[in-house]
């Protein structure tokens, strides 16, 4: 599978309806089981490997995902490039509901997650550089795919990763805004950091599914979020298929 890009699907992309399923491979790691078997798939002529971050049926909340097993498993199968899909809230005005964003930075507000392979269990220690958490080459590939498909993508943005699974308070969003965050989600970390530790190129395509708390006069409802996911994920799939085939 080393010649294929892996796509880690998030909320709204726990399966890949319309894709041809070629094969599945269970992932066994020193860190336990990955969220699901790794699937080799084909969509609109593009082949890739797919891992649903939250497991089949969306059973793992963000703070309970075995991020280490997921990334270790991809690495052990020879994967070198990973595109993550994230459903997020929008903070910056350019990141309104329905926007597709290719972030370039992360602020990590999560806690209590197994966030490193260098935990001292095997005597190894390293301090990886995460100054640029996303691969520039892979980001450009996604942006070029959007341009090819005529899909407007926001180039750059700061992803604030919160703990979840609850949504944030309005005061918390104002804090994130003061900190310079443009998006808020729950799964970018430790996934991006682990990918860097494993030597994988990693980038993200984010679908903004709601204005963050306090930034709209309307309450945030799961029904409204689901409507955006249902309409937006088809475009996400199209951009990913083009990026994979590039």
Question: Residues annotated as binding site for phosphate?
Answer: 11, 53-54, 187
In this structure, how many other beta carbons lie within 10 angstroms of the beta carbon of residue 29? 17
Strands (E) located in the chain: 6-9, 20-25, 28-29, 32-33, 38-43, 46-52, 81-90, 100-102, 105-108, 153-155, 158-161, 183-185, 201-211
- For the annotated binding site for substrate, the residues are 186, 210-212
CB 114 within 8 A of CB 67: yes
List the one residue out of 236, 242, 246, 245 whose CA is nearest residue 8. 236
- For the annotated binding site, the residues are 11, 53-54, 186-187, 210-212
Q: How far is CA 167 from the centre of its chain?
A: 17
């Amino acid at each position: 599978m080393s010649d294929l890009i892996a796509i880690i699907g998030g909320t709204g992309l726990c399966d890949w309806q319309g894709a041809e399923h070629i094969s599945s491979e269970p992932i066994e790691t020193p860190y336990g089981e990955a969220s699901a078997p790794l699937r080799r798939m084909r969509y609109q002529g593009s082949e890739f490997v797919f891992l649903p971050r939250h497991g089949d049926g969306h059973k793992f909340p963000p703070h309970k995902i075995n991020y280490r097993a997921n990334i270790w498993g991809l690495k052990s199968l020879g994967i070198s490039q990973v595109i993550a899909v994230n459903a997020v809230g929008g903070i910056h005005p350019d990141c309104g509901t329905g926007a597709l964003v290719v972030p370039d930075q992360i602020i990590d507000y999560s806690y209590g997650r197994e966030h490193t392979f260098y935990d001292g269990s095997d005597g190894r220690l390293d301090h990886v550089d995460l100054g640029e958490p996303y691969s520039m080459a892979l980001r450009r590939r996604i942006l070029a795919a959007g341009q090819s498909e005529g899909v407007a993508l926001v180039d750059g943005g700061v992803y604030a990763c919160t703990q979840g699974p609850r949504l944030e308070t309005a005061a918390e969003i104002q804090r994130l805004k003061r900190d310079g965050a443009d998006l808020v989600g729950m799964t970018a970390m430790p996934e991006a950091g682990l990918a860097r530790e494993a030597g994988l190129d990693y980038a993200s395509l984010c679908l903004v599914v709601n204005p963050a708390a306090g930034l709209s006069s309307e309450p945030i409802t799961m029904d409204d979020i689901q409507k955006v996911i249902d309409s937006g994920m088809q475009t996400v799939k199209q951009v990913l298929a083009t990026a994979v085939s590039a």
